[in-house]
Amino acid sequence: MSHNSPHFDAPAYQLRPLWMICALVAVVFSAATAPASAAANPAQVVPVAPNDSPATIIANAANVVPSPRQLAWQRLERMAFIHFGVNTFTDREWGTGTEDPDVFQPAGLNTDQWASSLKDAGFKGGILTAKHHDGFLLFPSKASAFGVASDRAWQNGGGDVVRNFTDSMHKYGLKAGIYLSPADLHENLSGGRFANGSAQKPVTIPSDPAEVVNGVTFQFTSDDYNAYFENTIYELMSRYGSIDEVWWDMANPTGRTQPYNFLDWIKIVRTLQPGAAMENDGGPDIRWIGNENGYARQSETSVVPYTGNAAIAADNIVNPPGGNGAADLGSDSLLSQRKSDGTSAWNYLKWSPGECNGTLSARHDWFWHANEVWRGVPELEDMYYASVGRNCTMLLNVSPNRQGQLDQSAITALADFNTRLTGTFGTNLATGATVTNDTGTSNAAGRTPALALDGNLDSSWQPTTTTGGLVFTLPAARTFDVLSLQEDLNSGQHVQSYAVDAWNGSAWNQIAADTTIGQKKLTRLSSPVTTSQVRLRITGSRTAPAIAEFGLFKRPGGSGQQGSITSTASGRCVDVNGQSTTNGAAVQLWDCNGGTNQQWTVNTDGTIVGGQSGLCLDANGAATTNGTKLVLWTCTGAADQKWQFR
């Protein structure tokens, strides 16, 4: 199931009048004599002139910076996707649009439980499927009866999941986002408005004067479906307080084409929710990463080249070159690419940060299904390092069940994941270091080395040239196995290559080398390093790099995998009786409660170590017979403390 639909429709605005096409042709023919652009001022969109040299384009790429809403959004790092709707009750991933609204019966709906669980697990907000491809609306709309308003089996048609959701998110201080599928299987039914061939004609949005908020109305030229969709966007953006993200899914299971008036949709959101960041295959604010596994590229850039109209690019959607899944969206060689006539392949460069969506479900389900299996800590941790750790915002899907609640097992999975992250990132082991320029490096005025370790993402160390080094002299020898680097995005994304060295007592020893950084780059070392001096070397950058933060971290429990161990039959957790930390403590099943006596580290040497006690899971008395009890015991390295996962 792909987000990037093969039925991607050309947005209506791409149908340009003849005079514009003539003007474009004229530009192409006069390219050889067209002037190159001057050095760009920092901006979210920087035009590329046909004759700009590769060097000019790369120099200008260094001046592409995030809008304030993009910067705020990138710093969220962890968001939750929440897929909930008729599919939850019909056991489907894609619905049909013919569902009886009465199937939707979340008798125990508890959006406070969603919000509190997400907050406890370190998520900054959530995005709810207000309408998935089936077209069923989770809120009462004046524009369609297909939704909760016709659901006699739940709150007698008076329910509003979007209201419950947004109220709970705001109550817990979390961001609230809305997912809306433009493709609509219900409106695609005979007599429906999707792709019905109706004319684009002048409309006022909202259609119902009673829906007008603060006197804001829009005059658009829309066909039946666009007018319908625009009314729903207006309702969602005007009724529920602050909306922080809007997600338009380009998958289209209808098999038919319908023009999407994106520029008008974007205008409604910008007007009613100026702070909302909008996601689509290509913007306007957020770029879909190109897969649904939650993985970014190793060299993930937020500066992407596009062909299109630079003048409207900040409020427009255009697919990135080669599609969202292309291996390279921002290398110097891609940015420098020429057309066959020798002019630049691109019209503009745009700040276009990636979003990595993936599922908590190990089966890659978006909607809840019976006997759902959640990913364990190792997989979630891998996803985290491949998303947040690669300059991408993680959008992890959780699926409320038919009661309208998150399964306790899902909450436990999220909590375990968060325990692992807080256990790793709770203490920056570089804290307290003396930071100095490396030999041969000097910093720009006021951009001192200490700013790379002040915990402030808006202040940064900057050398005077495109390369340079920083030396961190730690207060004492420290052991770490994760490196963290963050650029100061206020001045863009610049770094192209860097290396990190550890002092081994007599020489610098390189322990990591990588390419881009951006909002955050995390590197897991294959084995822990103990040293009292670490050196960062920026070896390539589009302009003088600006390093906001440097961090050294240690994953708890060695390089082992940490989390709870649950019994599939009972859903209960492997637990240490009475939270004992003494030899001989009994190990048993108990309701999962997030306690450290239910945390285990599974090490590569076969030992399983209790989180609270640090003691090993042990066969009592080293017995080998049926019925032998399991206990905790001081780790001995003996065979009765070694376990194999099959």
Q: Does 387 bind ligand FUL (CB under 6 A)?
A: no
Phi, psi of 423 (to 5 degrees): -65, -35
Taking the complex as a whole, how short is the minimal distance between the CB of residue 357 and ligand FUL, in angstroms? 6
Looking at the Cβ atoms of 93 and 379, the one nearer to ligand FUL is 93
Binding mask 322-361 for ligand FUL (x = CB under 6 A): -----------------------------------x----
> What six digits make up the tokens of 90?
């019909």
Applying CB under 6 A, does 1 fall inside the site for ligand FUL? yes
138 binds ligand FUL (CB under 6 A): no
CB nearer to ligand FUL: pick between 95 and 192: 95
Nearer to ligand FUL, 84 or 306 (CB): 84
Residue that is written with structure tokens 């930071």 in the block? 435
Q: Which of 3, 478, 494, 555 binds ligand FUL (CB under 6 A)?
A: 3
Binding ligand FUL (rule: CB under 6 A), the pick from 127, 237, 251, 616 is 251
| Pick 235 or 249: Cβ nearer ligand FUL | 249
How many residues belong to the site for ligand FUL (CB under 6 A)? 7
Our finding on whether 249 is near ligand FUL (CB under 6 A) is: yes
d(CA 336, CA 332): 6
Q: Considering beta carbons, is residue 6 or 197 the nearer one to ligand FUL?
A: 6
Among 114, 165, 220, 366, binds ligand FUL (CB under 6 A): 366
What is the nearest approach in angstroms of ligand FUL to the Cβ of residue 366?
A: 4
Which residues contact residue 124 at a Cβ distance below 8 angstroms, ignoring those fewer than 6 apart?
76, 77, 78, 79, 174, 175
Give the angle 352-357-359 at the CA atoms, nearest 5°.
175
CA gap 332, 354 in Å, rounded: 18
Q: Are the CB atoms for 179 and 81 separated by under 8 Å?
A: yes
d(CA 281, CA 299): 19
* CB-nearer residue toward ligand FUL: 293 or 533: 293
- Judged by CB under 6 A, the chain residues 80 through 99 that form the site for ligand FUL are 93
Over the window 205 to 244, marking each residue x when it contacts ligand FUL by CB under 6 A and - when it does not, the resulting string is ----------------------------------------
Omega cis (within 30) before 528: no
Q: Which of residues 154-213 bind ligand FUL (CB under 6 A)?
A: none
Nearest one of 18, 21, 13 to 221, comparing CA atoms: 13
Minimum CB–partner distance for residue 487 and ligand FUL (Å): 29
Long-range contacts, stretch 12-17, CB < 8 angstroms, 24+ apart: 12/200, 12/226, 12/259, 12/260, 12/261, 13/261, 13/262, 13/263, 13/316
Q: What is the smallest separation between the CB atom of 72 and ligand FUL, expressed in angstroms?
A: 23
Q: How would DSSP label each residue in 426-471?
A: SS-TTTT-EEEEPTT--BPTT--GGGGGSS-TT--B-BSSS-EEEE
Length of the chain: 646
Q: Give the Cα separation of 582 and 527 in Å (integer).
A: 30
Binding site for ligand FUL (CB under 6 A): 1, 3, 93, 249, 251, 357, 366
